[in-house]
Amino acid sequence: MTASPDLATSRTAAPELLRSAFRQHAAGVAVITAAGPEPVGFTATSLSSVAAEPPLISFGVGTSSSSWPVVAEAEHVGVHILGEGQQELAATFARSGADRFGPSTVWRTGPEGVPLLGGVVAWLVCRVVARIPAGDHRIVIAEIVAGDPSEGGRPLVYHQGRFTALRD
């Protein structure tokens, strides 16, 4: 069976097809942090639960990201689930060249020296167990070693190219 011409796509059109299709997919918003000479962090919508035994998560990070050199060497990372009122925090960590750990960001050094953001819905400290090449990204798999889900709250969601909240 062959694809109809209107459904076929070329290899050069595939990245835009991916972006267009995934604008329809709502995703939770997280910030990943790591300690280096200076702390680094980035906004991720690729966070996923991988396994319960052992407790593993995964996320993608672009190899052209300013955070990648530190994440590439980090033994531990921080994973922060953002709440619905944290659009500006998500935007700060998504913006290239932003002062992510400047005066407007509440953070502290947590277990394993990982930078931990304040006021998030939940945070985890994870030990990196694998970095898997995936095109212009790496898929990082990490095992949870510490965390606190107790702050709770409604999650921040990314949909249609913007940060938003769940509707009741």
Closest to 44 measured CA to CA, from 33, 22, 66, 59: 59
Mean pLDDT of 26-48: 94
For residue 26, pLDDT beyond 80: no
The verdict on residue 1 lying in a domain is no
- Show the domain range for 145: 27-160
The verdict on residue 167 lying in a domain is no
The verdict on residue 87 lying in a domain is yes
Distance CA 111, CA 97 (A): 27
Per residue in 101-118, pLDDT tens?
999 999 999 999 999 999
Edge-to-edge strand ranges of the sheet holding 76-81: 40-44, 30-34, 76-81, 122-134, 137-148, 56-62, 48-51
| Element (DSSP H or E) covering residue 162 | strand 162-165
For residue 2, pLDDT beyond 90: no
**Contact (Cβ atoms closer than 8 angstroms) between residue 100 and residue 66:** no
Bigger pLDDT: 29 vs 161 = 29
Q: For residue 125, what is the domain's CATH number?
A: 2.30.110.10
Mean pLDDT (the chain) is 89
The verdict on residue 15 lying in a domain is no
Structure tokens belonging to residue 117: 């953001």
Stretch among 111-115, 119-123, 156-160 having the lowest mean pLDDT: 156-160
Per residue in 58-108, pLDDT tens?
999 999 999 999 999 999 999 999 999 999 999 999 999 889 999 999 999
Number of structural domains, the chain?
Answer: 1
